[in-house]
Amino acid sequence: MSKTRAYGADCILLAAFEAAYGTMPADGYTRLSFKETSLGAERPLGYDPLLGQGRDAQDPFYEAVKDEGEFGVPLDLRSLGFWLKGLLGAPATSGDAGTGFTHAFTSGGALPSLALEIGHPTLATPKFFRHSGAKLGSLAVDMARSGPANATIAVIAQGESESATTIDAAPAGFALRRFSQGSGSILVGGQPLANVVGGRLSFSNNLEPVETIRSDGLIDGVDETEATAEGSVEVRFGTDATLTSAIAAESPVEMQYGFTIPGTDYALRFHLPRVFLPKKKQEIKGPGGIQAAYDWRAARDPVAGYLLRVTLVNDVPAY
C-alpha cells in the first residue's frame, strides 16, 4: 500500500562498486542492512551584502555542493565484507565452501568508489536518492559486555540526484546474521586482556575531497591520505600487569578486537600488530571498583607490513 509519509522502516539501501569514479553502474547492486544514515547533499546559502541598494537585504548565493554523512550498520557476518572492501580495498580470500572462506582486508592500499541509493519505495510517489563517487572515510566500533554489535561508517560522495524509480529492481542480498557484544573479546599479545570492561576502535582513511572549480559545484574526487587507527580500552585496576608493563617499558603491544559466532568457525578480527599506550593516573572516585581508560594509538608494523588487518571468516565466496 502506498503512503503519503516516509518511514525509516520502509527505506532500502542499494550499493555497488564503480568501475570509474562518479559513474553509477546500471545494475549489479547489493541490498544492505543499516540502522540509520545522515548521508545527503547540501548546498548552503552564502551572503555578501552590497551598499547603495537600500536597507533591505539582497539575494543570497549558493555555495558548492557538499555530499557527506554517516551510516550506522550492524556488524553482520556477510554484508560487513562489502563495507570493509570499500574501507580497505579488495581482500585476499582463501578457503572453500567446506571449511569457510577467510577474507583478509589490509590497510594502506587504494580504495574503490561506490554508488549508493537510498530509497523510499512505499511512498505514493516513490523517491530514490542516488549518490555517486562515494568513498568510505572511517569506521568506529564500540565494545561492551552486552548488546548488539554495530559500527559507524563515514562517507564522502561526489553528489546526489533524485529519481522516481530504483536503479536496480532485482538487487543481490546477504542473509542477515549479526555478531553480538556477548561474543566479543580484546586480546593483547595474543592473550585475553584481564579485567577489561569496555573498548573502542576507530580506523580512518583521512579522506581529502578534491575541491576544484566546476560549474556544477561538485568535487572532482576524493583522495585517501594517511591511514590511522586509534581507540581505547577500559580496565579495572588490579594485579594484571599486561598493560602497565608495556607502558613502563614504552614498548608497543599487539592488540586484537574480535567477535565470533558461537558454535561455528565464523569470526571477525581487527588485528593491530603495533599499538602504543599512554601512562594513566589511577583515579579513585568512590568505594567501588577503580577503572582507567587507556587511549591507544596504532602504527604500521614493519614486520607484519600493515597498520590494521581485518579478517572476516564466513560462507561468502568473494567480495
pLDDT at 245: 76
Burial 135-153 (b: 16+ CB within 10 A, else e): bbbbbbbbbeeeeebbbbb
Q: How far apart are CA 107 and CA 307, in angstroms?
A: 6
Percent of the chain at pLDDT above 70?
94
Asked whether the predicted pLDDT for residue 259 surpasses 90, the reply is yes
Asked whether the predicted pLDDT for residue 17 surpasses 80, the reply is yes
Averaged pLDDT of the chain: 91
What mean pLDDT is predicted for residues 88-94? Answer: 97
Most confident of 5-9, 30-34, 183-187, 285-289: 30-34
What mean pLDDT is predicted for residues 139-165? Answer: 95
Of 84 and 191, the structure prediction assigns the larger pLDDT to 84
Asked whether the predicted pLDDT for residue 1 surpasses 70, the reply is no
pLDDT at 241: 66
Of 292 and 80, the structure prediction assigns the larger pLDDT to 80
Question: 100-147: per-residue pLDDT in tens?
Answer: 999 999 999 999 999 999 999 999 999 999 999 999 999 999 998 888
SS3 27: coil
Question: 37-62: per-residue pLDDT in tens?
Answer: 999 999 999 999 999 999 999 999 99
Query: Rg (Cα) of the chain, in Å, rounded?
Result: 23
Confidence of residue 288 (pLDDT cuts 50, 70, 90): low
Q: How wide is the angle at C-alpha 50 spanned by C-alphas 44 and 54, nearest 5°?
A: 115
What mean pLDDT is predicted for residues 243-264? Answer: 86
Lowest mean pLDDT among 92-96, 212-216, 269-273: 212-216
Q: Are 75 and 174 in contact (CB under 8 A)?
A: no
Confidence of residue 249 (pLDDT cuts 50, 70, 90): confident
Write down the residue that cell numbers 599479545 correspond to. Answer: 189
Of 212 and 116, the structure prediction assigns the larger pLDDT to 116
pLDDT at 56: 93
pLDDT at 313: 97
Alpha helices in 128-241 (DSSP H): none
pLDDT at 290: 61
Of 139 and 290, the structure prediction assigns the larger pLDDT to 139
Of the candidates 95, 30, 137, the one whose C-alpha atom is nearest the C-alpha of residue 267 is 95
pLDDT at 236: 74
> pTM of the predicted model, to two decimals?
0.92
